[in-house]
Amino acid sequence: MPSSASLDPAILRALHLPSSTPHTLTPHGGSTFSTTSKLTLPSTSTSHFLKTLTYAHPPTSGEQLAGEAASLAAIADRVPALAPKPVAHGPLDETTNGYFLLTDFITPAGSDVELARKLGELHTAPGSEDGRFGFDVPTWCGATRQDNTWESSWITFFSERRLRAVSAELDMELRETVDAVIARVVPRLLGALKEIRPVCVHGDLWSGNALGAAVVDPAACFAHSEFELGIMKMFGGFGAGFMREYHKVVPKCEPVGEYEDRVELYMLYHRLNHALLFGGGGYREGALRSMKSLLRKYGGETDAV
């Protein structure tokens, strides 16, 4: 139900409105790590999406929402209708260690076909200015902080900033197997690509982060376009028709015969991240099976570690 509950002054100040401005707050959407609401301002006939975070370590919440704001801006700057534009973000006045992110409010609309075409447009839009891979600020995939330090090599960025970084906090068997994949599989599979152009990717595009023909909750970076497809395949929700439309805009990279294995390799990052976030189990075993299969096929091993 809508509520006229007091709104933190920092939010109204970010909108250049007095603290007495009439408003309503309605719970909207769902998030494991945050509180999300629809903020309606009758005096201006506008609505905004509001996300707030409160963590024990203040920089965490602020950095996480700053990364999301930068990600939304990078996407919306390239394909304006694909993501809501960030309006403001910063610390709350009245909540200790609390931070907020305010964006345009979007109503889910549009088809899978439209989303596929827009995603293809994003992946063919101009990428990083200097041709490097990374992002200006850290981003968060779930509760995992992602170091996006710029690299001139996609193989280096994916190996060090994604696979090795997420495996560092996992058990020894996973770490050693990831090391083997980085040493043997990554150079073989990604080194065979004829061209890797850094493009803006959403970075956490499972079906729950798609609203009609728009996307939310990004963890963006400038990456190989196929990196986007790993988590999309991992959780499903993007069927064959979607992929056909997408690949009309962004053809599969050469060598096409290794496309499925590259997507499997990119999915590995998200399997490892979910093992870290949710305590192993099926995600851990899935990651191990995937790595051993890739090592047998591309790592020159008959008995993968």
Catalytic residues: 204
Is the CB of residue 252 less than 8 Å from the CB of residue 174? no
Closest by Cα among 237, 244, 248, 250 to 211:
237
| Coil/strand/helix, residue 26 | strand
**Residue 188 vs residues 15, 55, 165, 222: alpha-carbon distances, Å:** 51, 41, 20, 21
| Pair of tokens at residue 64 | 């996480």
Distance, CA of 121 to CA of 123 (rounded, Å): 5
By the 8 A CB rule, do 106 and 232 touch? no
Six-digit token pair at 118?
């827009």
DSSP state letters, 164-190: IHHHTTS-HHHHHHHHHIIIIIHHHHH
AA letter at 29 = G
Q: What is the Rg, in whole angstroms, of the alpha carbon atoms belonging to the chain? A: 20
